[in-house]
Amino acid sequence: MTDKFMNTYHRTGLVFDHGQGARLYTEEGKEYIDFTAGIGVNSLGHNHPRLVKAITEQAGKVMHVCNYFMTEPSLALSEQITAMAGCDKVFFCNSGAEANETLIKIARKYGSSKNPDKNLIVTLKGSFHGRTITTITATGQDQFHKYFGPFTPGFVYVERNDIAALDEALTEKTCAFIFEPIQGEGGVRMVDQAYLKAAEKLCRERDILFVADEVQTGVGRPGAFLACQRMGIQPDMTAVAKGLAGGIPIGAVLARDPAAEVLQVGDHGTTFGGNPLAAAAALVVLSEISAQGFYAEVERKGQLIRAEVASWKHPLVVDVRGMGLMIGIGVTIPPDNVATACRERGLLVLTAGDDTVRLLPPLVITDRELQEGLPKLREALDSLYAGQSSKVRG
């Protein structure tokens, strides 16, 4: 069978048929340990029984109604997620890019209602905020700014962790500062806690919305519901998506007052946002990650991975960084080469930027799955180093 997809991905040719926990199986039955979780989406792994049951039961009731009406799952989800995030209100959508578009619209309306020129948004270099025209404009990486202009005006980029540069950029025309607490696509780069606390103070003093993009970091992955909660900061708005419904498309904007009251009837909307199927799935995810000790286990497993990789002192590994089960391994060779070598050994990993192997395993990955997967990563690195050394000798 030949595919008819547009050429938008470097597809590996693997066709997966089913999965269980942190394992995926091809149509031929070949097994892979999954350290990708669908780029952080399959938070409860594959074929999680409670998740499958909730989706199946909800599909037998009603999968969609328009947003003029409500359903019990969406109502319950709105209450649960705002309580967990410590926010006042939520807007549901379908993806991280949509959530970030919503943040930007709220910020622009908030600013322009005070001053018609208060519409500039500051983001960080190395950031990634989505694939729409506006969210790639917000993204602070030149590689995403090719071919698609003209871009949405009104964005300013500053270096990560440089508070003096941010201080200068936050002017009377700035309506929001948007940041990822950990830059995922940018290479799993940590934004310093002290920097974010200072940034929060500057924003409060200047009536600028302090806004977090936790599309990749949120919903349990950092060893807390949100990375900002671990860092002791409280954004005015937070975007979440990816792992929120364990594989069903969903996004959300969580907002505190006054940002929570900015959008009014007719300002914004989305056809599928908060549909009962996605909401039912998300309720299972929130229930599972709220279990006693869940976040501690995420952190324990993340520390186990980081300590194990660091202990190898591998010549191809520069550093290991991250939080919870969001891990970046800096490498001296193209990370795509590592991903390919891992696949050949039955392990799935991701890349980020041009120097990082990224690990985003399911939050429920077992110690046994880690013990099977990590040696495959080391074998891949060893084989690549051996190949590199033989070329030098040759």
Question: Hey, what's the torsion of the CAs at 2, 41, 182, 128, to 10 degrees?
Answer: 40
- The tens digit of pLDDT for each residue in 83-131 reads 999 999 999 999 999 999 999 999 999 999 999 999 999 999 999 999 9
User: What's the mean per-residue pLDDT of the chain?
Assistant: 96
Query: The domain 50-289: what is its CATH number?
Result: 3.40.640.10
Please, are residues 203 and 238 in contact by the beta-carbon 8 Å criterion?
A: no
Is the model's pLDDT at 390 over the cut of 70?
no
What is the per-residue pLDDT for 387?
A: 80
What would the pLDDT profile of 150-177 be if each residue is shown by its tens digit?
999 999 999 999 999 999 999 999 999 9
| Per-domain residue ranges of the chain | 16-34+293-393, 50-289
Other CB atoms within 10 Å distance of the CB of residue 2:
4
| pLDDT tops 60 at residue 394 | no
Band the pLDDT of 389: cuts 50, 70, 90.
Answer: low
pLDDT value, residue 391: 67
Confidence (pLDDT) at 116 = 95
Residue 64 in contact with residue 229, Cβ under 8 Å? no
Predicted confidence band at 263 (pLDDT cuts at 50, 70, 90)? Answer: very high
**Which pLDDT score is estimated for 363?**
98
Q: What is the pLDDT of residues 341-386, one digit of tens each?
A: 999 999 999 999 999 999 999 999 999 999 999 999 999 999 999 9
pLDDT at 241 over 90: yes
Instruction: Return the beta strands (E) in 288-363 as ranges.
Output: 317-323, 326-331, 347-348, 350-352, 356-359
Show the beta-strand stretches assigned E in the chain: 16-20, 23-26, 31-34, 89-93, 120-124, 155-158, 174-179, 182-183, 189-190, 209-213, 237-240, 251-255, 317-323, 326-331, 347-348, 350-352, 356-359
Residue 10 clears pLDDT 90, i.e. is over it: no
Q: Nearest-CA neighbor of 365 among 301, 310, 307?
A: 301
In this structure, what token pair is assigned to residue 81?
Answer: 């997620």
Q: Coil, helix or strand for 16?
A: strand
CATH of 16-34+293-393, one of 3.40.50.300, 3.40.50.740, 3.40.50.2000, 3.90.1150.10: 3.90.1150.10
Ranges 10-14, 84-88, 101-105, 231-235: which has the least confidence:
10-14
- Which two three-digit tokens encode residue 212? 């977090």
Predicted pLDDT at 3: 82
Instruction: Report pLDDT for 1.
Output: 59
Q: What are phi and psi of 290, to 5 degrees?
A: -85, -5
Question: In the structure encoding, which two tokens stand for residue 390, read together?
Answer: 């033989």
Specify the pLDDT at position 146.
Answer: 87
Structure tokens at 158: 């500053």
pLDDT at 392 over 60: no
Distances (CA, A) of 193 to 100, 112, 161, 230, 245: 22, 30, 9, 9, 28
149/145 Cα distance (integer angstroms): 8
C-alpha span between 179 and 236 (Å, rounded):
12
Q: Which amino acid is at 337?
A: N
| pLDDT value at 393 more than 70 | no
What confidence category does residue 42 fall into, taking pLDDT thresholds of 50, 70 and 90?
A: very high
